[in-house]
Chains A and B, each alone.
Chain A
Amino acid sequence: ETGVTQTPRHLVMGMTNKKSLKCEQHLGHNAMYWYKQSAKKPLELMFVYNFKEQTENNSVPSRFSPECPNSSHLFLHLHTLQPEDSALYLCASSSQGGRGPYEQYFGPGTRLTVT
């Protein structure tokens, strides 16, 4: 498998459920990202991991909990979500170096619906 993969592609969960989103990149990159895309809003950066270390938390509520066990895998653990959290969640990866981050590659996204 190549590129950036995300599972599941669709998820419906109740407000009291706990679920996890998974992202895997096969590009040898060292940085991974979670983005949220809501209807009629620009893409919002949620978290950034560089060499497994979290380097960015863009004021995301604690009901979203990221985990990056290694440079190839990224998880987003979800619990007690709200209906307004329904959105397309996109994972991306890139290389990062002394000249800064390079081209970002995105996965297909997970369409999350909170009921």
Chain B
Amino acid sequence: KQEVTQIPAALSVPEGENLVLNCSFTDSAIYNLQWFRQDPGKGLTSLLLIQSSQREQTSGRLNASLDKSSGRSTLYIAASQPGDSATYLCAVTSRYNTNAGKSTFGDGTTLTVKP
């Protein structure tokens, strides 16, 4: 059974700092890994998707990396802004067996960027 863990559970930083969010997963047989942002009481907004054959993806101030062999992904946020405050979720879509096509989500990291 795929398990996804996100560390830390919560993070508070001053505006302008660079930061790293971590995601680890137990089964490396994946189709892809996706990072989402969720504002309180709202749906999920896709930030980046990394296919299993890729090592990283970049969008603006965001960079996500994937190390499938070690079961880890990181989301790097450069020059953080108060508007980045949200919960960041990592989701892994499994490739094989009974988990094929299923996405497993981590608990999320709640980020607060202070002005």
Taking a contact as CB atoms closer than 8 A, the residue among B46, B104, B106 that contacts A105 in the complex is: B46
Report the minimal beta-carbon distance from A97 to chain B, rounded to whole angstroms: 10
* Cβ-defined contact, B43 with A104, below 8 A: no
A42-B107 contact, Cβ under 8 Å, with A88-B41, A111-B41:
yes
A6 to chain B, nearest CB (A): 8
**B contact residues around A100 at 8 Å (CB):** 31-32, 93, 95, 101
Q: Among B4, B101, B106, which residue has the most Cβ atoms of chain A within 10 A?
A: B101
**Contact flags B74-115 to A (C-beta < 8 A → 1, else 0):** 000000000000000101010100000111111110000000
Q: Is the CB of A56 within 8 A of B36?
A: no
Interface residues of A in 57-115 (CB under 8 A from B): 58, 88, 90, 92, 96, 99-109, 111
| B61 close to chain A: CB less than 8 A | no
State the main secondary structure of chain A at its contact with B.
strand
Is residue A43 contacting chain B, with contact meaning CB distance below 8 A? yes
Contact (Cβ within 8 A) B46 A103: yes
Contact A43 B101, CB 8 Å, known A88-B41, A106-B44: no
Give the bracket for the number of chain B residues in contact with chain A: 20 to 34
Task: Indicate with 1 or 0, residue by residue over B28-56, a CB within 8 angstroms of chain A CB atoms.
Answer: 00011010100001111110010100000
Known A104-B91, A106-B36: A42·B105 in contact at CB below 8 Å: yes
Chain A interfacial residues counted at CB < 8 A: 28
Query: CB within 8 Å of A: which residues of B?
Result: 4, 31-32, 34, 36, 41-46, 49, 51, 89, 91, 93, 95, 101-108
What 3 A-B pairs have minimum CB-CB distances, sorted nearest first? A100-B31, A43-B105, A106-B44
Selected A-B contacts with CB under 8 Å, 21 pairs: A6-B43, A42-B4, A42-B106, A42-B108, A43-B91, A45-B102, A45-B104, A55-B101, A99-B31, A100-B95, A103-B49, A104-B46, A104-B91, A104-B103, A105-B46, A106-B43, A106-B44, A107-B43, A108-B42, A109-B41, A109-B43
Which residues of A does B touch, CB under 8 Å?
A: 4, 6, 33, 41-43, 45, 48, 50, 55-56, 58, 88, 90, 92, 96, 99-109, 111
